[in-house]
Chains A and B, each alone.
Chain A
Amino acid sequence: MVFFENLIHILYFVMAGLVALSMLKSLFKRKKNQGVVFDIMYAYCLIPFLLRVLYIK
Chain B
Amino acid sequence: MEKKSLIIKIVVLVLALVLALLAGIEFWQLRHYKETIVASDDLTEVKWFSDYVPSLKNTWMDTPVFIFDSGVEGGTVFVCGCPHPYEPASTMAAYLMIENLQVDKGKIIIVPRANYSGSTDGMLGDAYPMFFHVSSDWGISKYRIGDRYTNPLDQWPDPFTYVNYPSGQNLAYQDIRNLNRTYPGRENGTLTERAAYAVMEIIRQEKVDIAIDMHEAEILYPVTSTYVAPSKVLDREKFLETGEMEYYEPEKSSLDVAMMAGMNISDQFLMKSASSPNTLHGLSHREWADWSDSLTFLMETPEIFIDKITGPRTEALMTEGKDEFLQKVTDKGLTYFPYDMEFGTPMWYRTGRHLTGALEVIFWAGFFYPEMEVQVTWPTYLEMAELEDQGIDSVGYYLKNPDAPENKDHAFTIYYKPVGENYDKY
Is A in direct contact with B (CB under 8 Å) within the complex? yes
Total A-B pairs, Cβ < 8 A = 58
- Which residue of A29, A36, A39 has the most chain B CB atoms within 10 A of its CB atom? A39
- Name the interface size band of chain A: 20 to 34
**Could you tell me how many residues of chain B have their Cβ less than 8 Å away from some Cβ of chain A?**
27
Pick the residue among B13, B24, B157 that contacts A12 (CB under 8 A): B157
Tell me if B19 is interfacial: C-beta within 8 Å of chain A. yes
Beta-carbon contact of A51 and B13 below 8 Å: no
Main secondary structure of the interface of B (DSSP, over half): helix
Contacts A54-B24, A57-B27 known; A5 to B16 CB distance under 8 Å?
no
The residues of B that contact A43 with a CB separation of less than 8 Å are 9, 12-13, 15-16
Asked if B155 is at the interface (CB within 8 A of a chain A CB), the reply is: yes
Asked whether A28 and B9 contact (CB < 8 A) given A51-B27, A55-B153, A56-B24, the answer is yes
For A5, list chain B residues within 8 Å (CB).
Answer: 190-191
Which B residues are in CB contact (< 8 Å) with A2?
A: 55, 188, 194
Question: CB-nearest residue of chain B relative to A16?
Answer: B156
Q: Does B240 contact A (CB under 8 A)?
A: no
B156 touches A12 (CB 8 A): yes
Please tell me if the beta carbons of B8 and A47 are within 8 angstroms of each other in the complex: no
Closest-CB distance, B169 to chain A (whole angstroms): 20
With contacts A50-B20, A51-B27, A57-B27 known, is A39 near B156, CB below 8 A? no
A-binding residues in B (CB < 8 A): 1, 6, 8-9, 12-13, 15-16, 19-20, 23-24, 27-28, 31, 55, 121, 152-153, 155-157, 188-191, 194
**Which of A's residues lie within 8 Å of B, judged by CB?**
1-2, 5, 8-9, 12-13, 24, 27-29, 36, 39-40, 43-44, 46-47, 50-52, 54-57
